[in-house]
Chains A and B, each alone.
Chain A
C-alpha cells in the first residue's frame, strides 16, 4: 500500500520534471523557428558585425546588433564590478563576522532587495539616480550605462550574497580553526583560507549574478536612455539586447523581418544565459564535491 503511493508520487514528480524539460526545448525551438528567416536574410556578418540597427529606416532598413551586444556587456560589466565587490564583502561579513542578531537584520533586508519589482527600480533610476548622477558628474542627464549598471548591481546583489554566503558557510570549521591555531589573524583566515576554499561557490554566485544582470529588461529599458549609437563609455546612453526586444516587439508588424530579427536577438540571449548557467552549475557542482 505504502509502496504504491510512493510510486504514484514519484511518477507524478517525474512527469513534472519531463514537462519542464520539454518546455525549455519548446522555447528553444520557438526561438529558432521564428528567427530562422532573419539569420538567412540578414546574414550572420551583417547581423553580428554591423552597429546600425534601424529596422524602420526612412529609406532602407538595417539590422546590425553589434552596438547592442557591446551595450549589454558594458552594462553587465559595470554592474558586476560594483556588485561582486560589495556582494562578496557582504557575504564574508554575514558568514564570518556578523553576530547572530546582526544577521537577523541584514538577511531579511537583502531578501527584500530581491523582492523589489524591476519596474520600481527603473522608476527610481529615472527619478532619483539619474538626476543625482547628472548633478555629481555635471552631465545634461543621467540616463546612461552607469545608471543602468548601478541599478543592475542592486538587483544582482541578493543572488550573489546568498549563494556566496552558502558557499562560505560550507567551509569546514576545522580549516579555520587550524589556520587560527597556526597564528593567523582573523582577517588572514578570512581572505586566505575561507575565501579560497569557497572559491567555486563564490564563482558560481558571480556567474548567476551575471546571468541575472544580462537578462534584466525593465530596469535597463527605463534607466539607460536607449540610444542606438555604439557606446563610447559608461557615460553614453546605451540600448541593451533585452531592451530592444521589449521596446519593439509590442508594435512590430507580425512575421516581418524585423519581428524575426527580434527573435534572433532573443535566441542569442537565450544561448548566452544558457552557457552562463551551465558554467555556474559546473562550479556549484565542484563546490558541492569539495565540501563532501
Chain B
C-alpha cells in the first residue's frame, strides 16, 4: 500500500507540473491579440495548421489555435459556440443544423481543399487496378477471394475506418453503396491501415491520399468508374490534380455566419493561389471549380 501511495504522490506531482506548463502555454499571448479557435476533423489538423502558420507570417496581430478531436467534435463545439471554425471532412447533418439554429448559430460551409481516397493493397499483390463497382463488392463482402478480380487464390482481408470517420461514410456512400461487410476491421486511423496492409498480403484498405506518399510495403490501385473510362492511379498527382481520379471529396470548414474581419481574410488566403499551392504541398488537392463557385456564394 505504501508503494501505491508513493506512486500516487509522484503521478500527482507530474500532473501538477504538466498542468502548469499547459497553463503557461495558453497564456502566451501578451499583446492582447485576438485568438481564433479552429477545431474538428483529425484528417484536416495538419493541413489547417500549415495554412494557419503560413497566414500568420504576414499577420502578426491574429492568432489561431488549431485542435483535432474529430469532425463531430468540431461541429458540436461550433453548435455550442465554443469554437470559431469547425473543420469537418463530412457535410454537416440536418440534425446538427437544427441544433445549431436552436443555439443561435448559423453554420456556413467553405470548401477549402479536396481530399482523395486511395485504395491500397500489399505491395506483393499482383492486382494493379479495380473498378469502383469491384471495390464496392469487395467491401460489401460479395467478392471474398482475390482470384475473382484477377489476383492470387487468397481470401481478402478488409481494412477500413471506424463508423464515425468521414472517410468511412464517404467510401460507403460513393463506392460500396451498401453496408460494409461485418468482417471489415475498423482501424482507428489512416496510419494504422497503412501499417496493417503492409503486413498482410491478403489486405485491401482505403486511406486519405496524403498517407500513401511516403508509405512502404503498400501500393495504391488504379481506379476507374466502370472500366470504360481510364484507370487513374492516385499516386499520379498531376492527373489527380486535374480531377481525373474519381474518388475525391471536399473538405469543409464551418463558420458561424458569413466569415468576417480577420476570419474572412484568412479564408481568402486559404483559397488564394499561394494557399492552394500549400494545400497541394501537404498532400491534398486544390478546390475544384464546382466547389469554388459554391464558396463564392458565401464570400461575396
Which chain A residue has the least Cβ–Cβ distance from B68? A250
Which among A162, A225, A243, A247 is the interface contact of B164 at CB below 8 angstroms?
A247
Q: Does A55 make an interface contact (CB < 8 A)?
A: yes
Q: Are A251 and B182 in contact (CB under 8 A)?
A: no
Q: Does A38 make an interface contact (CB < 8 A)?
A: no
Q: Does B65 make an interface contact (CB < 8 A)?
A: no
Q: Does B155 make an interface contact (CB < 8 A)?
A: yes
A215 CA to B96 CA in the complex, in Å? 31
Q: Are B199 and A54 in contact (CB under 8 A)?
A: no
Task: Give a binary string over A224-238; 1 marks a CB under 8 Å from any B CB, 0 the rest.
Answer: 011111000000010
A246 CA to B173 CA in the complex, in Å? 24
**What chain B residues lie within 8 Å of A58 (beta carbons)?**
172-173, 176-179
Q: Are A250 and B186 in contact (CB under 8 A)?
A: no
Nearest CB of chain A from residue B151's CB, rounded to whole Å:
13
Q: Are A254 and B76 in contact (CB under 8 A)?
A: yes
Within 208-242 of A, Cβ neighbours of B (below 8 Å) are at 221-222, 225-229, 237, 239
The size bracket of the interface on A is 35 or more
**What chain A residues lie within 8 Å of B75 (beta carbons)?**
253-254
Q: Does B64 make an interface contact (CB < 8 A)?
A: no
Task: Give a binary string over A40-56; 1 marks a CB under 8 Å from any B CB, 0 the rest.
Answer: 00000000000010111
A229 CA to B195 CA in the complex, in Å? 22
Q: Does B137 make an interface contact (CB < 8 A)?
A: no
Nearest CB of chain A from residue B190's CB, rounded to whole Å:
13
**What chain A residues lie within 8 Å of B199 (beta carbons)?**
130-131, 134, 141
Q: Does A57 make an interface contact (CB < 8 A)?
A: yes
The CB with the most chain A CB atoms within 10 A, among B75, B176, B179, B201, is that of B179
Q: Are A140 and B201 in contact (CB under 8 A)?
A: yes
Q: Are B200 and A140 in contact (CB under 8 A)?
A: yes
The size bracket of the interface on B is 35 or more
Q: Are B163 and A56 in contact (CB under 8 A)?
A: yes
Nearest CB of chain B from residue A159's CB, rounded to whole Å:
10
Which chain A residue has the least Cβ–Cβ distance from B89? A251
Q: Are B73 and A251 in contact (CB under 8 A)?
A: yes
Within 124-173 of A, Cβ neighbours of B (below 8 Å) are at 126-127, 130-131, 134, 140-141, 143, 162, 166
Q: Are B164 and A228 in contact (CB under 8 A)?
A: no
A66 CA to B157 CA in the complex, in Å? 23
The CB with the most chain B CB atoms within 10 A, among A162, A228, A243, is that of A228
Q: Does B224 make an interface contact (CB < 8 A)?
A: no
**What chain A residues lie within 8 Å of B169 (beta carbons)?**
56
Which among B155, B162, B166, B192 is the interface contact of A126 at CB below 8 angstroms?
B192
Enumerate 10 A-B pairs (CB-CB under 8 Å) in ascending A order: A141-B203, A228-B184, A246-B188, A251-B41, A251-B71, A251-B73, A251-B165, A253-B96, A255-B99, A256-B93
Partner-B contacts on A (CB < 8 A): 52, 54-59, 111, 126-127, 130-131, 134, 140-141, 143, 162, 166, 221-222, 225-229, 237, 239, 243, 246-256, 258
Partner-A contacts on B (CB < 8 A): 1, 3, 41-42, 69-73, 75-76, 79, 93, 95-96, 99, 154-155, 157, 162-166, 168-169, 172-173, 176-179, 182-188, 192, 195-196, 199-203
